[in-house]
Structures are given as structure tokens and as C-alpha cells.
Structure 1
Amino acid sequence: MPLLLRTRVVAFWILSLAVALASWRWAVFGVAASMEVMLYHALARPVAFYAHVGFAPVALALLPLQFWTRLRVRRPGLHRWLGRLYGLSILLSGLGGLVLALTTEAGPAAAWGFGLLAVIWLAVTARAVQLAMARRIAEHRRWMIRSAALTFGAVTLRLELPVLVVLFGFDTGYQVVSWLAWVPNLLVAEWLLWRPRPAVAA
């Protein structure tokens, strides 16, 4: 594997697992101490809140495993079961996230940004699961790339938000990141899926 590709793969693993673990900080320190900005959701709509913050990190932690070729080839049964858990985690987290988006106090831009993310995340992952069940594996992999781009939005959000807060303040930065965390990811995924492939010499 070329060095640049290896570096990207390692970064993908580290960032996915690190953000997934950090996202469970509420379980150790409590919501009030670790996620104060989300406390009103936890108090007003606990089922949606805990479904989102509890299962989104599961999906993120499983993400690198779904793209691990060695696991997929040597342990296809385990790959399928992890895929089911990934899909279930997104179902629960996505529905919870949609409720939180519709009831956010951060303004309409954030509501639309996170709301569309939840809907597209659910739809794209459902399509990937459907194709896997139909054994249309090549198509399944394409839709999983789209799902991964959206799941990885949890990472890009945490990388971008501190910069946006410094530039614009929290209120405006949070509204901007509700779109910037996932739209570029999805555009990059589409570019990777549709870019011209070099011709192979006969």
C-alpha cells in the first residue's frame, strides 16, 4: 500500500475511534458537565437524545471495520453482523437526531442542516442494507461509501466547529457547521464514485 494511502487509512481509523470514544463522555461525566449545550434536549426529549448520542458513536466506531478488506474476506459472517449493527445504530441515532433537529433552539439553518443530514443518512444507509440483502454487492459498496461520508460527519463537525467558533462565534458557527460537517463529505464521496477511471491497457 502506498505511503499516502496508508496514512489516510490510519488517520481514518484513529479519528473515527477517537471521536466515537470522546462522544460517550456524557456517560462518564454527565450531560450537564460534558454537553451543556445539549442539556435542554436531554431534559425535554430524553429518548431521542440518548438514542442519538448513544448509538451514533457505535456507528462511527464500526465504520473502519466495514471497510477492512481482510475482515470482509476472511470473516464474511462477522462482516455481515457488524453491518447489521451499523445499520441499526444509524436507524436509532438518525431517528433521534431528526427529532433533535426539528426541536433545536439553534435556529432554522441548523434545523434544516441537521434535519436533512438525518433524513439522507437514514435513506442512504437503508439503501446500502437493502442492496447487501439482495446480494448486489458492487452497488452496496457504492452506497456504503455515501453512508460512510455522512457518518464521518461526526468527525468533520468536531474538527471544523472550533475554527468556526473562533471566526464567527458559537451561534453562527454552529449553524454553519450543521451544513459544512456533511455536505462536502458527500460531494467528495460522489466525486470518488463518479470520477473517470484510467483505461487499462489490453
Structure 2
Amino acid sequence: MATETTTAPAPARSTRKVRWWRRPWIAPLAVVTALFLVSTLPRYVGLDPSLSLVPTDRGPVFYPALVTHILAGSVMLSAAVLQLWPWLRAHHPRVHRWSGRVYVASAIVTGIGALVTAQFPSSGVGQQVANTFLGILLLATTLLGFRAVRQRRFGDHREWMIRSTALAFSIVANRFWSTALIVAYVPGALTDPDLAFGAPEIEGAVVASAWVSWIVNLMFAEWWIHRKPKKRGRAQKVR
């Protein structure tokens, strides 16, 4: 904060309504999240392993951990959208606080589930290490953000929760990166799925996607945190 040379009280925070086009990303984010959940959840709510998007024959612990991870993750992503909605934060702070508590609780469960499922990789140790790091970082950033808000360090809280949310949405980003990398590793795989079956390059694409999906998100979060905000009009002169 800049130092002041006057004893006059700081000006009150502007109460001007923020127009929706100043936050154009919230609606697309909500739509993408909804589409992701609609396409994923039905396969797991019935607890039928045969509907799983990934093989479940990895021991008795894997499928329960996977279902827990996905169900808790669905709550986490839904709460994250509410947390990122500026209008809700400004006009309904109590709802914002409660959705934040839901986010923290579900993120902890999701992170623990990720740590368990990561130990049963389908594509080797590279995927195992990537998903283990993701689970640890999701837990760490979420808990650090929660501790910061409990200590009323709201600036630190905001930064840690931005990182946590970026990691949370890496599962959504993984859908994009896995498709893009499979196309890069196995050209023609989308038009001819038979090319993908048994191709050794697929494992490389899966491992690369496991790393890229959360690293790129985290890099974007760091850029967002440390970017220089645009000046909104000329600064008021100190009288």
C-alpha cells in the first residue's frame, strides 16, 4: 500500500456496479464446468465400475477412491465457480463464505482421493508422480489459503485460493490437453480410433497431459496474481 501524507480517512470503496462484460470469463467457466460434470458424473453416481472412463481393475482400493475423488471434485468445482463470481462475492458475502467452506472441505477430500488413485497409474511412473504432485499441491494451497483467511490475511488468502482453484480445474484442462497431445503424438487418432489402440505413443501423451494440465494452470495463476492491474482512470490527488 502506498504511504499517505495526510491524516484524512481513506476514501470509501467504490460501490459502482461492475458490469457483466468486465468479468466475461465467469459465464463460459460455469458452462464449461457444467458440461464437464454432466459428461462425467453419470458414469459414477450409480457405482457401476463398468461405466468408468478409466480401467478399475487396480485393486480393491482404487474404485472407491476414484468415486470419492470424482464426487467430491464435482462439489469442489461447483463451489469454485461460486467463489469466482464477483457479483456473488460483493452482494452476498455470507453465501460467498459458505461456498468457500464447502470448497475447502471438498478440495481436501478430492486431494486425498487424488493421492490414493495416483498410486495406481495406467501409464507408468511419470503419470504417478504428476498426479501425486497435483494432489499434494491442491491440499497445500487450499490449507494455506484457509489458514490465511482464519488469520485475516485476506491478500494471502486470495493468492493461495487462486492457486488452489487453478489446480482444481486442471482436471477440466486435462480433457483438452489429452486430446491435443494424442493428436500430436498419434496423428490421425481422432479420425481413425484404431490407430490409438495399442500405440506406445499414447502412454507418452497421457503422461505429458498429466503434467501439462496442472503446470500450465498454475503458471497462469501466478501470472494472474503478479500481473500489473490496469489503471482505472487517473489517481486522485492528495489534497
TM over 0.5: yes
Indicate whether 1:65 and 2:97 are aligned.
no
Contact map agreement 1:17 1:60 (CA 8 A) in 2: no
Q: Which has the higher helix share?
A: 1
User: Which deviates the most, 104-113 or 164-173?
Assistant: 164-173
Task: Report what 1:100 is aligned to.
Answer: 117
Indicate whether 1:56 and 2:88 are aligned.
no
Task: Report what 1:183 is aligned to.
Answer: 215
Change (3 A) 1:41 1:92: farther
Task: Report what 2:39 is aligned to.
Answer: 22
Change (3 A) 1:25 1:43: farther
Contact map agreement 2:26 2:85 (CA 8 A) in 1: no
User: Which deviates the most, 68-77 or 51-60?
Assistant: 68-77
Q: Distance in 1 between matches of 2:60 and 2:36?
A: 24
Change (3 A) 1:73 1:197: closer
Structure 1: state its 5+ residue gaps: none
Q: CA deviation at 1:2?
A: 7.4
Change (3 A) 1:71 1:3: closer
Structure 2: state its 5+ residue gaps: 1-18, 186-200
Contact map agreement 2:47 2:67 (CA 8 A) in 1: no
Q: Which has the higher relative contact order, 1 or 2, with Cα contacts under 8 A spaced 6 or more apart?
A: 1
Q: Distance in 1 between matches of 2:102 and 2:20?
A: 31
- Structure-1-length-normalised TM-score: 0.88
Contact map agreement 2:62 2:120 (CA 8 A) in 1: no
Task: Report what 1:33 is aligned to.
Answer: 51
Contact map agreement 2:56 2:62 (CA 8 A) in 1: no
Contact map agreement 2:163 2:218 (CA 8 A) in 1: yes
Task: Report what 1:152 is aligned to.
Answer: 169
- Which structure is larger by alpha-carbon Rg, 1 or 2? 2
Q: CA deviation at 1:81?
A: 1.5
Contact map agreement 1:160 1:181 (CA 8 A) in 2: yes
Q: Deviations over 1:81-108 (max 9, x none)?
A: 2111111111111111111112324211
What is the number of equivalent residue pairs in this alignment? Answer: 200
